[in-house]
């Protein structure tokens, strides 16, 4: 092995064909040799041995690129070993066209990140873009220790959960210490002054005691205030619909601001893996999709503000005017409402008292480590619940899905139903509902009722994740914005023939335009929308075309 600088992450290339190995080594070193150690192994067994040595030495391993057809130890076995030794490593399988079925199987079974058909010439088109993308993903989740934000708090604290969830969803590299069980956590708490938990220590050494999200965002340098008060386009919400609108609007020359009440990504940002979104054959986590979209939006000079909740919408003037929770105001030629939805409250005895202390709404992927080897319950029968069940089954001792419907496939995609069926530690209980949750300082059990048998029973559980439908975030909007009986915003033809009066005469509302001229609604907040990421992205991008028409005629 090459004794290069130990601080550089490793890219390992594996192939038993000397000519192929030489080619891939040459290509990788020409592109990445300055910032990474490009190591090679002339076969599967040698590769596994190299990976073990890297693990023992504590060397960071970013990407493993392995051929599939090798005697003794195949490529999929090498990549499996790599994932076991380095859980965050990115994996690429080199394969011939005849072996693409093996690669597709590895995507499903091993969570393979990518496969590349041989030969990969020219590497500038077929190899480097793949490796660049995987390295960006790896770095987003693997920062050096000096760049980590450290959090000290109790596992059973609602405020600690809020802080960890905020950091995790923003993909802020974090090290977590449970003050109840970590000696190092207690030492940090004592050294910082014991002024309250959770304690957050930023990479520059600033200590924050029990910060709210706004204070945390400010300390981390997140942008929360706009540079100016007048924009061409203002977007409320930075989920897939809002981010798509922001990218398309700014890329077409509109001065664009996007306001997000909490964390970019919306509900989709909490998904552990979205596998049916076009263009990502290996799937993509909601957080990674949000990170990419945010990067793309900022590249086009979108002012993305988060957290920056909207408090009101003034429609009395010629142009819409947004009133923000911090007292600021923004005027825009057009507004796109992409404010999304919030999960319904469970509304059973004990659920309010234990929220954040074992009862969670949404996936709360930051709780991955706290559910390890525990018994957990997931309530819901749609895709979000299924994705959470698959994700947490990798860590929890048991996962029980409670679903009111008679079968899981009623609202869940078939691919998720199949994955759940293949998980030995996942149990599905259809026709069941939650009667109450139990616990004093934390969740200890869930009482459920089976509608078919009429029997109620108690399930021991340390965590309960709730996905039981959602209501739109529209209570801040003025009455001029027409909504249906559940609060979802009506647009276009759903307005029942309502007309907009303009300087050029009356006209019909555009497809995604609301009952207020120049105000549009897209994504989950819109009545009768399809609750899928691809649909939200499509609506956000199409709405921008109508924005151009109201701005420029």
C-alpha–C-alpha distance, residues 140 and 295, integer Å = 12
pLDDT for 5 equals: 44
The pLDDT, as a whole number, for residue 116 is: 93
What does residue 371 show for φ and ψ, rounded to 5 degrees? -95, 0
Q: CA quadruple 304, 305, 308, 310: dihedral positive or negative?
A: negative
Quick one: which H or E segment has residue 400?
strand 398-403
pTM of the model: 0.87
Architecture of domain 230-342+470-552: 3-Layer(bba) Sandwich (3.50)
- Please identify, in words, the CATH class of the domain defined by 147-219: alpha beta
Name the percent of the chain in helix, strand, coil, to the closest 5.
35, 25, 40
Question: What angle do helix axes 100-110 and 75-85 make, rounded to 10 degrees?
Answer: 20
- For 551, phi then psi, to 5°, come to -85, -35
The two three-digit tokens of residue 419, written as one number: 């994955």
pLDDT at 553: 73
Measured in whole angstroms, how far is the alpha carbon of residue 484 from the centre of its chain? 29
Answer yes or no: same fold for 230-342+470-552 and 359-466.
Answer: yes
Is the link from the previous residue into 119 a cis peptide, with omega within 30 of 0? yes
Cα separation, 208 vs 221, in Å, equals 14
Question: How, if at all, do strands 256-259 and 230-236 pair?
Answer: parallel
Asked if 242 and 540 count as a contact pair (C-beta separation under 8 A), the reply is yes
3-state class of 427 per DSSP? strand
Q: How far is the C-alpha of 512 from the C-alpha of 248, rounded, in Å?
A: 15
Domain ranges of the chain: 10-141, 147-219, 230-342+470-552, 359-466
Three-state DSSP class for residue 448: strand
Token couple for 508: 């019909």
Position 1 scores a pLDDT of 44
Q: Are strands 310-314 and 207-209 parallel, antiparallel or unpaired?
A: unpaired
DSSP string, 198-237: SEEE-TT--EEES--HHHHHHHTT---S-S-SEEEEEEE-
**Do 384 and 266 touch, CB atoms closer than 8 A?**
no
Q: What is the CA radius of gyration of the chain?
A: 25
Per-residue pLDDT of the chain (553 residues; tens, 9 = 90+): 444 444 799 999 999 999 999 999 999 999 999 999 999 999 999 999 999 999 988 899 999 999 999 999 999 999 999 999 998 999 999 998 878 888 888 888 888 999 999 999 999 999 999 999 999 999 988 877 778 899 999 999 999 999 999 998 888 888 999 999 999 988 888 888 777 899 999 998 899 999 999 999 999 999 999 999 999 999 999 999 999 999 999 999 999 999 999 999 998 888 888 988 998 888 888 989 999 999 999 999 999 999 999 999 999 999 999 999 999 999 999 999 999 999 999 999 999 999 999 999 988 787 888 999 999 999 999 999 999 999 999 999 999 999 999 999 888 999 999 999 999 999 999 999 999 999 999 999 999 999 999 999 999 999 999 999 889 999 999 999 999 999 999 999 999 988 998 877 899 999 999 999 999 999 999 999 998 999 999 999 999 999 999 998 7
Q: Using the CB atoms, write b or e for 444-482: b if 16+ within 10 Å.
A: bbbbbbeeeeeeeeebebbbbbbbbebebbbeebeeebb
C-alpha 477/C-alpha 214 separation (Å) is 22
Third-level CATH fold of 359-466 = FAD/NAD(P)-binding domain (3.50.50)
Residue corresponding to tokens 């391993």: 61
Q: Both tokens of residue 519? A: 């105000």
Class of domain 10-141: alpha beta
**Contact in structure between 308 and 321 (CB atoms under 8 Å):** no
CA gap 365, 271 in Å, rounded: 8
Q: Which two tokens stand for residue 349?
A: 């005895």
């Amino acid at each position: 092995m090459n004794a290069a600088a130990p601080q550089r992450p490793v890219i390992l290339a594996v192939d038993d064909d000397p000519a192929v190995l030489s080619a891939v080594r040459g290509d990788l070193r020409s592109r990445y040799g300055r910032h990474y150690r490009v190591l090679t192994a002339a076969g599967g067994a040698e590769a596994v041995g190299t990976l073990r040595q890297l693990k023992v030495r504590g060397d960071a391993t970013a990407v493993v690129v392995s051929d599939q057809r090798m005697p003794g130890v195949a490529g999929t076995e090498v990549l499996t070993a790599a994932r076991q030794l380095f859980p965050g490593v990115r994996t690429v399988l080199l394969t011939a066209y005849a072996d693409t079925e093996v690669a597709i199987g590895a995507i499903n079974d091993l969570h393979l990140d990518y496969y590349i058909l041989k030969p990969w010439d020219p590497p500038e088109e077929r190899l480097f873009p793949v490796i660049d993308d995987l390295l960006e993903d790896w770095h987003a989740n693997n920062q050096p220790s000096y760049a980590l934000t450290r959090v000290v708090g109790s596992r059973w604290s609602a405020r600690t959960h809020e802080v960890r969830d905020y950091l995790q969803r923003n993909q802020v590299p974090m090290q977590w210490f449970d003050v109840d069980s970590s000696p190092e956590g207690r030492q940090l708490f004592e050294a910082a002054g014991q002024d309250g938990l959770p304690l957050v220590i930023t990479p520059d050494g600033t200590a924050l005691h029990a910060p709210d999200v706004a204070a945390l965002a400010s300390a981390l340098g997140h942008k929360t205030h706009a540079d100016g008060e007048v924009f061409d386009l203002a977007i409320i919400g930075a989920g897939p619909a809002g981010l798509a609108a922001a990218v398309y609007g700014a890329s077409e020359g509109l001065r664009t601001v996007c306001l997000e009440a909490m964390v970019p990504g919306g509900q989709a940002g909490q998904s552990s893996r979205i596998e049916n979104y076009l263009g990502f054959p290996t799937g993509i986590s909601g957080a990674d999709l949000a990170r990419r979209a945010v990067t793309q939006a900022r590249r086009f000079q979108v002012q993305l503000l988060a957290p920056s909740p909207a408090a009101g919408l003034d429609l009395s003037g010629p142009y819409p005017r947004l009133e923000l929770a911090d007292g600021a105001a923004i005027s825009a030629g057009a507004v796109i409402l992409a404010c999304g939805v919030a999960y319904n409250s469970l509304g059973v005895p004990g659920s309010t008292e234990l929220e954040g202390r074992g009862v969670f709404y949404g996936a709360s992927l930051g709780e991955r480590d706290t559910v390890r080897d525990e018994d957990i319950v997931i309530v819901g029968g749609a895709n979000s619940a299924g994705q959470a069940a698959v994700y947490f089954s990798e860590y929890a001792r048991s996962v029980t899905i409670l679903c009111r419907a008679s079968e899981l496939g009623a609202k869940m995609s078939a691919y998720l139903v199949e994955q759940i069926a293949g998980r030995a530690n996942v149990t599905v209980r259809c026709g069941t509902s939650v009667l109450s949750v139990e616990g004093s300082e934390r969740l200890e059990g869930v009482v459920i009722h089976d509608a078919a048998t009429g029997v109620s029973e108690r399930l021991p559980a340390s965590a309960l994740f709730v996905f039981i439908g959602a209501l739109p975030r529209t209570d801040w909007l003025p009455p001029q914005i027409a909504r249906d009986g559940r609060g979802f915003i009506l647009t276009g033809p759903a307005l029942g023939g309502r007309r907009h009066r303009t300087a050029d005469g009356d006209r019909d509302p555009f497809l995604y335009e609301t009952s207020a001229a120049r105000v549009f609604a897209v994504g989950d907040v819109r009545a009768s929308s399809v609750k899928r990421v691809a649909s939200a992205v499509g609506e956000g991008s199409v709405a921008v075309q109508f924005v151009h028409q109201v701005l420029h005629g």
